[in-house]
Structure 1
């Protein structure tokens, strides 16, 4: 039996890692590559596919209801906001991600954004290159042991991030309704509710998935509750923050800064006021990346498909 696997879209230069996994599986596989951008394009290509490998193409309810043979949708990455999970579950289709491939990379990137913000590295670098040799442009900077790093979410990545933050002397706190205070205390982290951590954190690092409940979780009202010296760090998903409200809060000095690897629109709009602000650091959704992480991501996403097509369970199933 030949299994049809559709790669809905991709931005990689080659597909060597996926092809090796499929070749080594022992299955007869027809690997179809596409560059779908719309629901209609996915529906046209995917109707008879046994499996979908997805990067950014929309796998909406409409798409899922059109699928005739699909057993699994595997997505490159942790987030699955391109896929309608409820529709897939109703149709009995397994949805899987790769939640552990970039744990070191994302936690390192969040740490780099934290340290760059705390020591105002990018601002100082910019001023020196303009000929301004004067540390006073970065006033004030405070000792780490006088400040609190708070995380929203306490899964794999924020736990690893906190492990790297604590030796630097920061106090640490976390908000996660699904993790007990005892579990947090066991690793030296104080559990706080959402309003408390927003009001207490000097650095607030976001590590929650983008779902209906977290869309614009950080909005105008919550930004106003933050400390005036607070910096918000986001390596999760852009739409967790209301970007218009963030721009306003930064312009008016309601908070001190932002360090973002993700934005509501990607690429970030060229007319975004965030691009003109010295107290904002923006990187191009690169926190996940290292050569090693990219290989791991692609191999594991392909293995999800092989396991399900063989009648096995993938450990990364979400439905």
Structure 2
């Protein structure tokens, strides 16, 4: 069994090897920059582990032995799942590993932006010792915290926001409009959430329905004292529209961990605003979540390659595909898996 890490910026891979070695799998680390390099570096692999690489139909066709794709993370927008399913390739993610870390970060960013903490810190370092630049400041009590996307992370964020005294409301595309609550959170329409919330926190996956869902029209509906928090995916909010809204004073500020272009280029327009807090796509990170992500990503792929059902799979229908067990057999020949 050969498993290739197509590219990854992690600092060590002992956790992955602790899974692959007992299974008798060969783990290979590559740093592929494009589709051609992914294909070349993963030649002969039954499984690949992916961080940022785009795994397209072209890539899959170039890897005829491929049985499983494991993504380091929750989102699978970088993988053509339809193409994988058509080719009998399992796509696996880790949908619940970072719930506490991401919700912690969302709350931390919301408070930092609302209290002007980064701007105050820069002022103190420059010799300024006043709060004029960040006034007015308000208590969290009785302010409205709107959560868009009430999955595991969104509901955890809602719970923590309520604990700080916010009035919490939520919107989820899956919620029945006739119901008053969804997953324990007061459920409202998207328009009502945008119109009422001083904090709008995004927790929706990126797909064809959510891409650009917060754009110019939505910013125009938001309060002038609102802060947008995004720890989901950069493409959910239109960055150009966000910059325009900030410049026009349509909203007060933003706290952004995920970006449409990563890494964020030096001199990006969002860096011009003192009212914007930026972090480098690390909301998922804690020592605990980091270890869990690495272990479960490779476990999923090893399980598929061994002919077993993994803990997490996006397209489970491929597991029952005719000939799958036979396809797994060469991967396991002479191995301990």
TM surpasses 0.5: yes
Instruction: After superposition, give the CA deviation of every residue in 1:245-287 in whole Å (9 maximum; x if it has no partner).
Output: 1111101101000001111111112121211211000011111
SS of equivalent to 1:31 = strand
**Aligned position for 1:238:** 234
Q: Are the aligned partners of 1:228 and 1:253 in contact in 2 as well (CA < 8 Å)? A: yes
Q: Deviations over 1:91-117 (max 9, x none)?
A: 111101011111111110001001112
Asked if residue 60 in structure 1 is aligned to residue 49 in structure 2, the reply is no
CA deviation string 1:218-264 (max 9, x = no partner) = 11111111111110000111121111111111011010000011111
Matched residue, 1:78: 74
Q: Could you tell which deviates more after superposition, 293-302 or 7-16?
A: 7-16
Counterpart for residue 154 of structure 2:
158
How many residue pairs align between the two structures? 315
**In the TM superposition, what is the alpha-carbon distance from 1:73 to its structure 2 partner?**
0.3
**Runs of 4 or more off by more than 6 Å in structure 1?**
181-184
Q: Distance in 1 between matches of 2:311 and 2:178?
A: 27
For 2:254, what is the secondary structure of its paired residue? Answer: strand
| Unaligned residue ranges in structure 1 (runs of 5+) | none
In the TM superposition, what are the counterparts of 1:207-218 in structure 2 within 5 Å? 207-218=203-214
* Structure 1 vs Structure 2 CA RMSD: 1.7
The correspondence for 1:113, drawn from 106, 109, 113, is 109
State the shift of 1:126 in Å.
2.0
Q: Distance in 2 between matches of 1:53 and 1:184?
A: 41
Partner SS state of residue 8, structure 1: strand
Match of 2:41 among 45, 58, 76: 45
| Cα separation, 1, equivalents of 2:140 and 2:6 | 46
Paired position in structure 2 for 1:282: 278
Maintained 8 Å contact 1:151/1:207: yes
Question: Which SS does the other structure have where 1:145 is aligned?
Answer: coil
- Could you tell me which residue of structure 1 aligns to residue 92 of structure 2? 96
Change in 2 beyond 3 A, CA 1:60/1:98 = same
Cα separation, 2, equivalents of 1:187 and 1:41: 43
